[in-house]
C-alpha cells in the first residue's frame, strides 16, 4: 500500500486554546537556560556512541580554550585524562584564566577574553558560550586557574557555584578543568576512546609543536596536514603528498585510484566537518589551477576524481553557521569593517585562490614527475566518463522520470517542503528491503526528518565493477539520485544513511552489498561518518502482571537471559525474524529518540581492498572454508 507523500502541515491557529497570562512568562538565568535549551548550545545530547554526540562537544569546548592558549604562544603541552569513560580532566600550561574574573568566565554567558582580538586574534570560541555550557550540563564541574604564585579554585554542580577558594601555589601557570556530564541529560553515556583520539589528533595536525598526553599516551604531529592525509587515506596515493604552507593557510593533497573526492577542512584548529566557504574555494581553485597548468579542455570533475585534500585557515573572527562550528559561513579573512587602520579583509575565496594559483602552479612546474602522474590519472577519469556518457545521460533522465516520491522514496517533510534550519543534522534515510519491512518503517517513522528508500530484492555485488554500473543498475541509479551524491557529498540530502535489514543471513548479506557499493563508489560517505546500521531487537521478553504486560526488548542473547531472570517465572519470548514481523506501534520504539545505530567506520588499518576481495570477490573456496570453520547453528530459544 503506497503512502500519500503530499504531506499537509497543520493549519495556522489549528490548536486548542490555552490560557496565556503573566504566569506563563518566565525568566531563566544563564545556567538554567543552557540546561533547558541544551540543543541551542551543543546540538544533540546522545550517549557517546556517535562522534557528534553532546559529550564530545563538551570536551571540544574545553579543548578549544587550551588550543587558543597554544596558538597565542602559551603552553606546548595539554594533559587529558578520562576516568572510567565518564569523567574528564584537562590541564593546560597556558596563561591561566584571569583569577579576578574566573567565576564569570565559566558561568556568565557573553563573558570571555575572546571578544578582545588583542588577546585572542584567531580563535574558534568567539561567542563566550562554550565553557559555560560544559559547566551547566555537568553534574560536577571544577575549574582552577594557576598564575602569579596563586591558584583560584571553584566547584559547581549543575551550573550552581558550591565553593570558591584562593590560596598560594607553586604549580606552573595554566588552567585545570574537570567535568562529569550530567547523566540525567546524557543517558547511559560513555566516552568512546576512538572519537576522543580523533579529536586530539586533528588538533595536533593543525598545531605542530603541540603535545597531548591522553591517559598517558603521547599524541603529536610533526608534519601537519601531510600527517592527516597519511593517517586517513585508505588507498595509496599515486604520487607523494603535495604539502604547501603560507601565512594563515596550509593545504595538502594527492590523488588515489578511488572514486569520488575526499576533503578535510579546518578553521583556527576547528574541524569543519560540513565544509564551508574555505572548502568550496579549495575545490574550485585546485581544479582551475591544474586545468590551466595543462592548458587542456579538461572537466573539473575529471581533475578532482580520486583527489584527497585538506585545507586549514586562520581567520580573525570567523562566522560559523551554528554554535557547534561545523561549517564556515563567513567569507572574509579578517573583519570586513576595518579595525585599527587595517584595511577590510580579502574574501576567503580570493585568498585561497591566489595562494593555490601561485603555489600549486609553481609546484607542478618544479616536479614534472608528479605532473605526469596527475595527468595520467585525469586522462583515465576522462576516458571512463566519456565511455559511459550515453549511459549516464539516459540514467539521469530515467531517475527524473521515475516517480521517486511514490515508487522508491518516501521522503520526509524536511525535504518535501524545503524547510531550512538545523533539521539537516536530524535528517536520515532508511534503506530497507521488501514491502513489509519498508511498510513497517514508513508507518512508524517521524515524517518530519525520516525518509525511507525501498530496495527491490538483493542489490548487485558491485565489487570490481566500474562506475558504469551505478547508472546501468536501476536500484543504484535511483538511490544515488535520492541521496543526491552524484556530484559529491555537498549535495547529500540526509545526515544519516541507515541500512535497515533483517537480522538474518539474507539481511546481513544485503548490508555487505550496500557497504560494498558505498566503499566502491562513494567512500567519503563512510569516511565522514554518514553510514549506519539500524540495530533492532532480536527478542521480546514479556510477562503479564495484573492484566498489563511488562515488556523488555533485547538486542543480544545476554540481554535476553537478563530479561528472563528479571521477568520470571515463565515469561513469553518472541524471536523477531524480520522487520516486517514487528508491528508499526512497536517499531516506533526502535527508530525514535532511543534508536540504536552502529556507525560504519573506516580506518587506514582496515585493509579495505583485501577485505572486499575476500568477502565480495571470487575466491569462492577460500570463503566457503571460512564460513564452514566459523559456522554457528542457532537454536530455537523461544522453547526455553
The residue-averaged pLDDT of 117-144 equals 71
pLDDT tier, 127 (very low <50, low <70, confident <90, very high otherwise): very low
Q: Residue 178 and residue 139: Cα distance in Å, rounded?
A: 11
Residue 368 has pLDDT above 90, yes or no: yes
Answering whether pTM is above 0.85, one says no
Q: What is the pLDDT of residue 23?
A: 58
When pLDDT is cut at 50, 70 and 90, the band that residue 180 belongs to is very high
Q: Which residue has the higher pLDDT, 417 or 50?
A: 50
Look up residue 202 and give its three cell numbers: 586533528
Query: The sheet that has 496-500: what strands, in order across it?
Result: 409-410, 450-455, 428-433, 496-500, 531-535, 596-599
* CATH class of the domain comprising 389-536+597-629: alpha beta
Residue 395 corresponds to which cell in the numbers above? Answer: 540514467
Sorted by where each begins, the domain ranges of the chain are: 33-219, 225-382, 389-536+597-629, 538-575
Tell me yes or no: is domain 225-382 CATH 1.10.3720.10: no
Q: Are 481 and 624 in contact (CB under 8 A)?
A: no
pLDDT band with cut points at 50, 70 and 90 for residue 614: low
- In tens, the pLDDT along 480-530 reads 989 999 888 888 889 899 999 887 788 888 998 999 999 889 988 998 889
Task: Give the whole-angstrom CA distance, residue 189 versus residue 469.
Answer: 42
Mean pLDDT calculated for residue range 308-324: 78
Check for a shared fold between 33-219 and 225-382.
Answer: no
Which CATH architecture is the domain 33-219 placed in?
Answer: 2-Layer Sandwich (3.30)
Beta carbons within 8 Å of 535's beta carbon, 6+ residues apart: 555, 596, 597, 598
Which of 170-179, 233-242, 488-497 is predicted with the least confidence, judged by mean pLDDT?
Answer: 488-497
pLDDT digits (tens, 9 = 90+) for 35-86: 777 777 777 788 888 888 889 989 998 998 898 888 888 889 999 999 999 9
pLDDT over 90 for what percent of the chain? 38
Flag the least confident range among 146-160, 310-324, 460-474, 623-637.
623-637
pLDDT for residue 13: 44
For residue 467, pLDDT over 60 is answered with yes
Residue 634 has pLDDT above 70, yes or no: no
CB 94 within 8 A of CB 174: yes
Per-residue pLDDT band for 163 (boundaries 50, 70, 90) equals: very high
Position with higher pLDDT, 262 vs 399: 262
Amino acid at each position: 500500500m503506497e503512502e500519500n507523500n503530499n504531506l499537509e502541515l497543520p493549519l495556522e491557529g489549528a490548536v486548542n486554546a490555552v490560557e496565556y497570562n503573566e504566569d506563563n512568562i518566565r525568566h531563566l538565568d544563564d545556567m538554567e537556560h543552557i540546561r533547558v535549551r541544551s540543543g541551542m548550545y551543543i546540538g544533540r545530547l546522545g550517549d557517546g556512541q556517535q562522534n557528534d554526540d553532546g559529550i564530545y562537544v563538551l570536551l571540544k569546548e574545553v579543548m578549544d580554550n587550551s588550543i587558543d592558549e597554544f596558538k597565542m604562544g602559551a603552553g606546548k603541552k595539554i594533559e587529558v585524562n578520562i576516568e572510567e569513560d565518564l569523567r574528564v580532566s584537562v590541564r593546560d600550561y597556558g596563561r591561566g584564566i584571569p583569577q579576578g574574573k574566573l567565576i564569570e568566565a565559566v558561568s556568565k554567558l557573553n563573558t570571555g577574553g575572546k571578544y578582545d582580538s588583542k588577546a585572542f586574534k584567531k580563535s574558534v570560541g568567539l561567542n563566550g558560550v562554550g565553557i559555560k555550557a560544559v559547566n551547566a550540563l555537568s553534574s560536577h564541574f571544577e575549574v582552577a586557574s594557576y598564575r602569579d604564585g596563586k591558584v583560584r579554585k571553584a566547584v559547581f554542580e549543575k551550573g550552581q557555584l558550591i565553593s570558591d577558594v584562593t590560596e598560594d601555589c607553586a604549580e606552573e601557570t595554566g588552567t585545570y578543568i574537570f567535568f562529569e556530564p550530567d547523566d540525567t541529560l546524557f543517558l547511559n553515556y560513555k566516552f568512546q576512546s576512538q572519537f576522543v583520539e580523533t579529536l586530539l589528533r586533528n588538533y595536533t595536525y593543525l598545531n605542530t609543536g603541540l603535545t597531548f598526553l591522553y591517559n598517558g599516551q603521547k599524541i603529536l604531529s610533526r608534519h601537519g596536514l601531510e600527517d592527516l592525509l597519511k593517517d586517513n587515506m585508505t588507498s595509496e596515493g599515486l604520487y607523494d603528498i603535495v604539502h604547501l604552507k603560507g601565512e594563515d593557510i596550509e593545504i595538502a593533497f594527492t590523488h588515489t585510484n578511488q572514486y569520488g573526492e575526499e576533503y578535510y577542512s579546518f578553521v583556527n584548529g576547528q574541524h569543519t566537518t560540513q565544509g564551508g566557504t574555505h572548502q568550496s574555494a579549495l575545490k574550485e581553485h585546485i581544479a582551475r589551477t591544474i586545468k590551466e597548468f595543462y592548458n587542456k579542455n579538461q572537466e573539473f570533475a575529471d581533475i578532482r576524481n580520486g583527489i584527497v585534500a585538506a585545507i586549514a585557515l586562520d581567520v580573525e573572527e570567523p562566522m560559523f553557521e551554528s554554535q557547534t562550528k561545523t561549517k564556515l559561513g563567513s567569507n572574509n579573512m579578517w573583519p570586513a569593517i576595518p579595525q585599527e587602520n587595517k584595511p577590510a579583509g580579502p574574501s576567503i575565496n580570493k585568498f585561497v585562490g591566489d595562494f593555490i594559483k601561485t603555489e600549486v602552479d609553481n609546484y607542478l612546474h618544479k616536479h614534472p614527475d608528479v605532473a605526469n602522474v596527475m595527468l595520467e590519472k585525469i586522462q583515465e577519469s576522462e576516458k571512463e566518463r566519456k565511455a559511459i556518457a550515453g549511459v549516464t545521460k539516459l540514467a539521469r533522465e530515467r531517475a527524473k522520470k521515475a516517480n521517486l516520491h511514490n515508487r522508491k522514496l518516501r521522503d520526509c517533510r524536511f525535504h518535501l517542503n524545503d524547510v531550512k534550519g538545523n533539521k539537516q543534522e536530524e535528517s536520515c534515510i532508511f534503506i530497507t528491503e521488501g514491502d513489509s519491512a519498508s511498510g513497517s518503517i514508513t508507518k512508524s517513522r517521524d515524517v518530519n526528518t525520516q525518509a525511507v528508500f525501498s530496495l527491490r530484492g538483493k542489490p548487485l555485488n558491485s565489487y570490481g565493477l566500474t562506475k558504469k554500473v551505478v547508472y546501468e543498475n536501476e536500484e543504484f541509479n535511483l538511490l544515488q539520485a535520492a541521496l543526491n551524491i552524484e556530484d559529491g557529498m555537498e549535495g547529500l540530502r540526509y545526515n544519516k544513511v541507515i541500512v535497515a535489514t533483517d537480522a538474518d543471513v539474507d539481511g546481513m548479506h544485503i548490508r555487505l552489498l550496500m557497504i560494498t557499493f558505498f566503499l566502491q563508489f562513494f567512500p567519503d560517505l563512510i569516511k565522514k561518518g554518514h553510514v549506519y546500521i539500524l540495530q533492532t531487537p532480536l527478542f521480546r521478553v514479556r510477562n503479564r502482571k495484573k492484566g498489563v504486560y511488562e515488556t523488555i526488548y533485547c538486542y543480544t542473547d545476554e540481554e535476553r537471559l537478563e530479561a528472563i531472570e528479571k521477568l520470571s517465572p515463565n515469561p513469553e519470548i518472541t524471536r523477531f525474524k524480520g522487520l516486517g514481523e514487528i508491528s508499526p506501534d512497536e517499531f516506533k520504539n526502535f527508530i525514535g529518540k532511543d534508536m540504536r545505530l552502529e556507525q560504519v567506520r573506516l580506518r587506514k588499518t582496515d585493509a579495505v581492498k583485501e577485505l572486499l576481495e575476500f568477502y565480495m570477490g571470487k575466491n569462492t573456496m577460500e570463503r566457503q572454508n571460512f564460513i564452514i570453520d566459523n559456522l554457528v547453528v542457532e537454536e530455537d530459544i523461544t522453547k526455553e
